[in-house]
Copies of this chain bind each other. A is one copy, B any other.
Amino acid sequence: MKLKAKPLKLFAGRSIAILHKETAEKLQLHEDSRIRIKKIGEKRWVTAVIDIAEEMVKKDEIALSNDITKIIKIKRKDWVEVAVELRPYSINYINKKMQGKRLNFTEIYSIISDIAKDRLKEGEIAYFISALYFRGCDMKEIYDLTRAMINTGAVLKHKEKYVLDLHSCGGVAGNRTSPIVVSLVASAIQHLGIDAIMPKTSSRAITSAAGTADVMECVAKIVFSTAELRKILDKTKACLVWNSALNLSPADDKILKVESLLPIDTEPKLLASVISKKVADGATHLLVEIPYGNSSKFKLAEAIRLKKKFLKLTSKFGIKTKTILTDGSQPVGRGVGPVLEMLDVISVLKNKKEKLSDLENRSLLFASELLALTKEISKKDALDLCKFLLYSGRAYKKFREIVLAQGGKTNFEEKLRTGKFRKEIKAKKEGTIKAIDNKKVSLIARIAGCPGDKGAGIWLHKKRGDSVQANDVLFTIFSESKEKLDYAYRIAQQSNPFEIE
């Protein structure tokens, strides 16, 4: 059926098309049905879920949400072709996996391709994630999942000999090493004159209070085309951008969004997600951090198992990989939340004396290990070089360069604002801080508004091993809304992340 397009500046978080009731009846469509849409004369179909209206649209019209019009360029009154989207057959493969059966590449590709094309609904994707969570995958399935994710998105090619990359498996609040590592590595690359870049592409938060993309967005743009990215890399040898905008492994992003509802993380998906993104962004040398410990995602045994799988999989894709297991038993740094973590990053880069040695040491370690992976420099020399670059202010200068190349303002530091609503949580007794629970910290920060509200989050006044008196402030909760603050405060009181002994 041919209909006149009515592009709406409507943002629904999914592709929505609105049809007149009679038009929907003619097509035998019900609310929540799926349709396919393409511009007349063009080839690309997009899938959308329909809403049905009695007003708003005429019988020969179809209103389209922004998610659709950004994919197929459409102007008002352009004619579009509309067809019934059949029930995606991949749903049967999701069901097969739910029942505990192995999937082959064709079946996995069918699911991933339908997710990438928005043909599966949130609930169907949640079932797929649950099936992976409860049934697990063997190495062949994980490899196939990774390949399917790569093949359904864009793949970047770089001219440099070394394309350095970093990934942290997460689960540790405030662990924002990437901006520091990238600044260190990029200035080292220039210092050593090696043919390398570090085009770091990152995600937004999944289960945590902030992802590197959320944090960088506080000071610079993170959305760039491939051509724009190349210009930034030519200028600075590095970048810190949002991977979603580059359409690398787009299915992964859509799965992450549904995972973030609970939140939930599954090992097969974690491996496929990371490696597909790294293959797609062109990495040749990769450092993977796997934090382990109480209240982090992994216990030591799991971290060791994961490490082996990482090495096995990356070698299949020809990426030289080093994995580092780190102590993930308490948050890193002081700030948790986009703005608060950026403040930590700047403190380290500017060598401020704020007891951020954990964040600093990790960043130095990762940067030097990554540089040494190229064999152009020894580990020891790389560590010394990174220390020099950090303490001499060169790394900070490189960071500013990257921020400005990514469209940040010269006074970006002054623009950082923490949430104006805040409350302190105090110690009920004296003693020593025995533990700080990452999951509880992240939950409270998310309830306070993270990662969507940039200024929301938590500032840790105390860390493990510190002594406290009764009534000493343990942490401050920041929020941009009074309601969210109150709720976060209530949860923080019910379930305090600090354990004092």
A residues contacting B by CB (< 8 A) are 8-14, 16, 18, 21, 27-28, 30-33, 51-56, 65, 83-84, 86-87, 91-92, 94-95, 98, 121-127, 129-131, 133-134, 258, 261-262, 264, 443, 446-447, 449, 452-453, 480-481, 483-484, 487
Cα A484 to Cα B12 with chains together (Å): 28
B264 and A10 form a contact (CB under 8 A): no
A84 and B483 form a contact (CB under 8 A): yes
Cα A192 to Cα B386 with chains together (Å): 94
Which residue of B is nearest A63, CB measured? B56
Cα A125 to Cα B126 with chains together (Å): 9
Q: Pick the contact of A481 from B32, B84, B122 — CB < 8 Å?
A: B84
17 contacts between A and B (CB under 8 A): A10-B18, A10-B56, A12-B31, A12-B51, A28-B449, A30-B452, A83-B483, A84-B483, A87-B447, A91-B261, A95-B262, A98-B262, A98-B264, A121-B122, A122-B126, A123-B123, A123-B261
Q: Pick the contact of A262 from B122, B127, B258, B480 — CB < 8 Å?
A: B127
- Shortest 10 CB-CB contacts between residues of A and residues of B: A130-B130, A13-B32, A126-B126, A9-B54, A122-B123, A123-B126, A13-B31, A12-B51, A11-B52, A134-B134
Cβ contacts under 8 Å, A487 to chain B: 86
Cβ contacts under 8 Å, A92 to chain B: 443
B126 and A127 form a contact (CB under 8 A): yes
Cβ contacts under 8 Å, A30 to chain B: 452
Which residue of B is nearest A7, CB measured? B55
A127 and B264 form a contact (CB under 8 A): yes
Cβ contacts under 8 Å, A28 to chain B: 449, 452-453, 480-481, 484
Q: Pick the contact of A484 from B65, B84, B122 — CB < 8 Å?
A: B84
A261 and B31 form a contact (CB under 8 A): no
Cα A130 to Cα B126 with chains together (Å): 9
Smallest CB separation, A251 vs chain B (Å)? 15
Cα A28 to Cα B449 with chains together (Å): 9
Q: Pick the contact of A55 from B9, B12, B261 — CB < 8 Å?
A: B9
Q: Answer whether A134 and B130 are a contact pair too, CB < 8 Å, given A446-B87, A481-B84.
A: yes
Cβ contacts under 8 Å, A33 to chain B: 452
Cβ contacts under 8 Å, A86 to chain B: 447, 483-484, 487
A121 and B31 form a contact (CB under 8 A): no
A16 and B51 form a contact (CB under 8 A): yes
Which residue of B is nearest A54, CB measured? B9
Cβ contacts under 8 Å, A481 to chain B: 27-28, 84
- With A11-B53, A86-B484, A126-B130 known, 9 other A-B pairs at CB within 8 A are A9-B53, A9-B56, A10-B52, A11-B51, A13-B32, A91-B262, A123-B258, A127-B129, A127-B130
Cβ contacts under 8 Å, A446 to chain B: 87
Smallest CB separation, A202 vs chain B (Å)? 19
Smallest CB separation, A452 vs chain B (Å)? 5
Smallest CB separation, A124 vs chain B (Å)? 5
Which residue of B is nearest A18, CB measured? B10
Cβ contacts under 8 Å, A11 to chain B: 21, 31, 51-53
